[in-house]
Amino acid sequence: MILSLFAISFFALCIFAALIDLETLTIPNWLNGWLAFLALPAMILAAPGWDVAGVHFLVGAITFFATVALFFLGAFGGGDAKFIPAVVLWVGPAGALPFLFATAIAGGILTILVVMARYVVPYYITPGFGVATFTEQRGIPYGVAIAAGAFYAAPASPLLTDFLSQIQQIS
């Protein structure tokens, strides 16, 4: 039951990050921090001992260094560079590659849609939450793609499978 609360917080924070990124083109540090922090008690509850947690932290650290390097190369923003490894802490080594693949695919589709929408919909008539996204010469809200990748890779995570199986039993 408690592990399910952590899983709900994971999904809620991913959705919240996507919505904030859509509105402001930034993902706050506190959100990424909480997402990463909550992974530790979830790991302890899901699989006591450091064998699972250690591998999750190792994959998360490798991902963090890779995304920070990509941030310095200008591939994406700082919030995205912290959001990706925070999600990898949750999905672990089994879900890391599916997560990155799904994020890349969702990011490509999102980029095409946003660029097309910028030409069709003038930013001054967009709803308040989308002005930053639809302003020309601005970035892409890649947090939306990261959240989509997180949802795609969630079934591979030992931290999230309990909750997902409970949801599946309800439907």
Confidence of residue 170 (pLDDT cuts 50, 70, 90): confident
pTM confidence score:
0.92
- Report the candidate in 154, 59, 157, 148 with the shortest Cα–Cα distance to residue 103: 148
- 133 or 80, which is more confident? 80
Question: What is the band of 15 on the pLDDT scale with cuts at 50, 70, 90?
Answer: very high
Mean predicted confidence (pLDDT) in 112-130: 78
Tell me the three state secondary structure of residue 99: helix
- Cβ–Cβ < 8 Å for 79, 26: yes
Residue with tokens 């909750």: 163
| Residue 123 confidence class, pLDDT cut points 50, 70, 90 | low
Query: What pLDDT is stored for residue 162 in this prediction?
Result: 86
- The predicted model gives 15-19 an average pLDDT of 96
Name which of 41-45, 145-149, 167-171 the model is least confident about: 167-171
Domain range for 37 is 2-170
CB atoms within 10 A of CB 38: 20
Token look-up 């302003």 returns: 135
Cβ-count burial 48-78 (b if 16+ within 10 Å, e if not): eeeebbeebbebbeebbeebeeebeeeebbe
Number of structural domains found in the chain: 1
Quote the percentage of the chain above a pLDDT of 90. 63
Residue-wise over 146-160: b if at least 16 C-beta within 10 A, else e? bbbbbbbbbebbbbb
Cα 129-131-137 angle, rounded to 5 deg: 140
| Mean pLDDT (whole number) for 131-145 | 82
